[in-house]
Amino acid sequence: MRRSDRLLEMITLLRDGQIHRADDLAAAFDVSVRTIYRDMDTLIASGIPVEGTRGSGYRAVNALTLAPLTLTAEEVEALQLGLAIVAEASDAGLKTAALSLSEKVDAALPTEAPSDRTGPLAVYPFSDAARGFSHMSTIRAAIRGKQKLRLSYRRPDDVWSFRTIRPLQIEHYGRIWSLTAWCELRNAFRVFRVDLIESADILPEFFVDEPGKSLQDFRPG
């Protein structure tokens, strides 16, 4: 498994709210405990809200409030996406301001958020988080309308695939945007990194929730 794929699967696993020991994660992903420690360092440096320490286990938390304002999940998405886009600007002043504001946003997150979420907007392998912005409205429209999507998807190793999916949920987590979907090619749930989607086209095919293929089945309870 490529490291970027392992990290994305690890985020999904950590989000169940349970404490996961490094030994168990190493066994689940067939890597060494030292590799798990490095992966956790990378996730935290990428802005993923992971809490825990070596020896105590890890879990992910989802912080969505900024004092003194209370923000919705979509408002946080807009804020972080905007910062990611501005940080790629050629204007040095704007880039510096975006990075500074990102640090202030991190510092203002609730106390239950990890204390070490400071740092640049994103580091490898999530440095291109803003690239998927052009597909956001299409994906959201397909989710609202329960219409299938045709994706062309380029993996980090430049392997292309073409998928017909049932889009179920688009999420902002840390500084990563991901799309949870039922993939008709694999006949299974898949989570796609939005920044790796090259094209997304709404198909004239509608879908309804079916047992085993709904978002509730992906995350029971």
What does the pLDDT average to over 149-173? 89
pTM reported for the whole predicted model:
0.56
Among 38, 45, 78, 58, smallest CA distance to 177 is for 78
Computed over every residue of the chain, the mean pLDDT equals 78
What does the pLDDT average to over 34-51? 84
Residue 205 has pLDDT above 90, yes or no: yes
pLDDT of residue 68: 53
pLDDT of residue 189: 95
Residue 156 has pLDDT above 70, yes or no: yes
Residue 144 has pLDDT above 60, yes or no: yes
Band (pLDDT 50/70/90 cuts) for residue 30 is very high
Select the more confidently predicted residue: 113 or 48: 48
pLDDT of residue 60: 81
- Helical ranges in the chain per DSSP H: 3-14, 22-29, 33-45, 73-87, 92-108, 136-145, 215-218
Specify whether the backbone of 57 is left (phi greater than 0), alpha (psi in -120 to 50) or beta: left
Residue 177 has pLDDT above 80, yes or no: no
pLDDT of residue 119: 38
